Amino acid sequence: MIILGSKLPLSPPVLRDFLWQVALQMRSGGHPWFRGGIERSLSREQVVLGELQHFLRVLRNHEFYGSILRRAQEAGDRDVIQIAQQNYDEEVVDPENHVELLFHLLDEAGIERSIAEGTMPTPGTALAVETILGFCERSPALEGMAFVALVEAQNAGEGGVAIQVYQALREYYGFSEKGARNFLVHSEVDGEHGSRQIELICRKATTAEAQRGIIHAVHLGVHAFSLEWDGHLQAAIGRRLYWSGDCETLLG
């Protein structure tokens, strides 16, 4: 447990470091869903079942990122609007958006679009989607960004989860470059998304009240996305299990 006490407000560099402490309570690379793929302990069929759940979540990206953009526009801060618009365009509008990239993998596995879109969410997926959507709809734009930014940032980069999953999909699970491309793209752009949002958040959130909201958003965000990954694993193994955050512990 991380205890902050009454030290707020923090300077931007100290706030950034503290947000990372909060986010890394739930390291994406420690989650059994990602470990199962990266360590090649899941079957190809299990990976596809999990990615169907991933697809259900990204189908709602237009709502998540759209809500953040709408809240930014309502507040009228040009810097926040600019970043929110960039995120929305890249995640939703761009021809290589998250939905289309991810569907390539499902298509390669022989799953029709109508079947993918009609898949029933597992409990973890359903909880994650409703938590993400509800938070982004109700919260200030900076808090919505904080909710997703540190999850994105820790998945990116040379040693991040996304590039390791891409390598496993290509080298072990037999997917083409096109089928696995979603993870290659996000190993690059998630770092850009995350870093520009974190910089903006730490620059704009200067009061104790604003920083409390940001810290809460990061804490809730990493747990919400962990629920999504639980949902992937639930589909893959057919059991309703939840990760505790400890690399070795699943609860069910």
Sign for the CA dihedral angle at 141, 193, 185, 226 comes to negative
**pLDDT of amino acid 187:** 92
The Cα 8–Cα 43 span in angstroms is 47
The Cα 221–Cα 228 span in angstroms is 11
Question: pLDDT tens digits for 105-123?
Answer: 999 999 999 999 999 999 9
**pLDDT of amino acid 245:** 86
**pLDDT of amino acid 101:** 97
Mean pLDDT confidence for 209-227: 97
Residue 2 pLDDT > 70: no
The fourth-level CATH superfamily of domain 44-238 is Heme oxygenase-like (1.20.910.10)
**Cβ–Cβ under 8 Å, residues 241 and 233:** yes
The Cα 124–Cα 215 span in angstroms is 23
The Cα 67–Cα 139 span in angstroms is 9
Residue 5 pLDDT > 80: no
115: part of which helix (H) or strand (E)? helix 113-117
**pLDDT of amino acid 136:** 97
Question: pLDDT tens digits for 133-145?
Answer: 999 999 999 999 9
Question: pLDDT tens digits for 149-194?
Answer: 999 898 888 889 999 999 999 999 999 999 999 999 999 888 888 8
Mean pLDDT confidence for 210-236: 97
Question: pLDDT tens digits for 54-103?
Answer: 999 999 999 999 999 999 999 999 999 999 999 999 999 998 899 999 99
Domain boundaries, given as residue ranges, for the chain = 44-238
Coarse DSSP helix, strand, coil percentages of the chain, rounded to the nearest 5 percent: 75, 0, 25
Helices (H) and strands (E) in the chain, counts: 12, 2
CA distances from 58 to 23, 27, 122, 175 (A): 21, 20, 15, 20
Residue 51 pLDDT > 70: yes
The Cα 76–Cα 144 span in angstroms is 15
**pLDDT of amino acid 249:** 58
Mean pLDDT confidence for 8-25: 95
pTM: 0.94
